Structure 1
Amino acid sequence: MSSFVKDVNEITKRINTPTTFYNAETLTVYWETSPEVIRSILPAPLTPGPRPLVHAFVANYPRTSFCEPYREAAVFVLAAYNGQPGTYCLSMPISDDIAMGLGREIYGFPKKMADISLQKEDHHIAGSVSRRGTEFFHVEAALSGKMNAADGESIISAHYGNGLPVFNMKYSKSPDGRGFDLGPLLIRQTASMDISVRTAAEVEIHLHDSPHDPWAELEVVRMLGGIYTVSNTVLERGEVLTAVDPEQFLPYSNLRWDWWN
Structure 2
Amino acid sequence: MDIATVRNQLTTPLGAPAFPRPPFRFHNREYLNITYRTDPDALRRLVPEPLTIPEPLVRFEVMKMPDTTGLGSYHESGQAVAVEYEGEHGEYIHAMYVDNHPAIASGREISAFPKKLGEPKLFVDSDTLVGTLDYGTLRVATATMGYKHESMTTEAALAEIGVPTFMLKLVPGYDRTLRIAELVRAQITDVTVHGAWSGPARLQLFEHALAPLADFPVLEVVAASHFVADLTLGRPAVVFDYLA
Instruction: Sort the TM-score into its range (normalised by shorter chain).
Output: 0.7 to 0.9
TM-score using structure 1 length: 0.79
CA pair 171-145 structure 1, distance change in 2 beyond 3 A = same
- CA-CA distance at 1:162 after TM superposition: 6.2
Matched, 1:23 2:21: no
Task: Detail structure 1 runs of 4+ shifted over 4 Å in the superposition.
Answer: 5-11
Q: Report Cα offsets for 1:88-115 as digits up to 9, x if no partner.
A: 1111100100010111111111101111
CA pair 105-206 structure 1, distance change in 2 beyond 3 A = same
CA pair 144-243 structure 1, distance change in 2 beyond 3 A = same
Alpha-carbon distance in structure 1 between the residues aligned to 2:136 and 2:10 = 38
Alpha-carbon distance in structure 2 between the residues aligned to 1:121 and 1:36 = 35
Task: Name the structure 2 match of 1:254.
Answer: none
The AA in structure 2 aligned to 1:169 is L
Task: Name the structure 1 match of 2:238.
Answer: 240
Task: Name the structure 2 match of 1:76.
Answer: 80
CA pair 171-53 structure 1, distance change in 2 beyond 3 A = same
Of 40, 64, 72, the match for 1:35: 40
Alpha-carbon distance in structure 2 between the residues aligned to 1:121 and 1:6 = 49
CA pair 201-8 structure 1, distance change in 2 beyond 3 A = same
Alpha-carbon distance in structure 2 between the residues aligned to 1:220 and 1:10 = 40
Task: Name the structure 2 match of 1:45.
Answer: 50
Kept after mapping to 1: 8 A contact 2:161/2:188: no
The AA in structure 1 aligned to 2:39 is S
The AA in structure 2 aligned to 1:165 is P
Alpha-carbon distance in structure 1 between the residues aligned to 2:50 and 2:38 = 21
Of 188, 192, 196, the match for 1:191: 188
Alpha-carbon distance in structure 1 between the residues aligned to 2:68 and 2:224 = 24
Alpha-carbon distance in structure 1 between the residues aligned to 2:10 and 2:70 = 14
The AA in structure 2 aligned to 1:27 is L
Of 109, 112, 117, the match for 2:116: 112
Unaligned runs of 5+ in 2: 12-19
- CA-CA distance at 1:245 after TM superposition: 4.8
Alpha-carbon distance in structure 1 between the residues aligned to 2:10 and 2:238 = 26
Q: Secondary structure at the match of 2:207?
A: coil
Alpha-carbon distance in structure 2 between the residues aligned to 1:235 and 1:162 = 11
Q: Secondary structure at the match of 1:204?
A: strand
Unaligned runs of 5+ in 1: 148-152, 247-261
> Between Structure 1 and Structure 2, which shows a larger proportion of helix residues?
1
Task: Name the structure 1 match of 2:200.
Answer: 202
Task: Name the structure 2 match of 1:135.
Answer: 139
Length, aligned pairs only: 226
The AA in structure 1 aligned to 2:40 is P
TM-score using structure 2 length: 0.84
Q: Secondary structure at the match of 1:76?
A: strand
Task: Name the structure 2 match of 1:89.
Answer: 93
Alpha-carbon distance in structure 2 between the residues aligned to 1:85 and 1:202 = 26
- CA-CA distance at 1:183 after TM superposition: 2.7
Kept after mapping to 2: 8 A contact 1:128/1:135: yes
- CA-CA distance at 1:184 after TM superposition: 0.6
Alpha-carbon distance in structure 2 between the residues aligned to 1:39 and 1:96 = 31
Kept after mapping to 2: 8 A contact 1:44/1:244: no
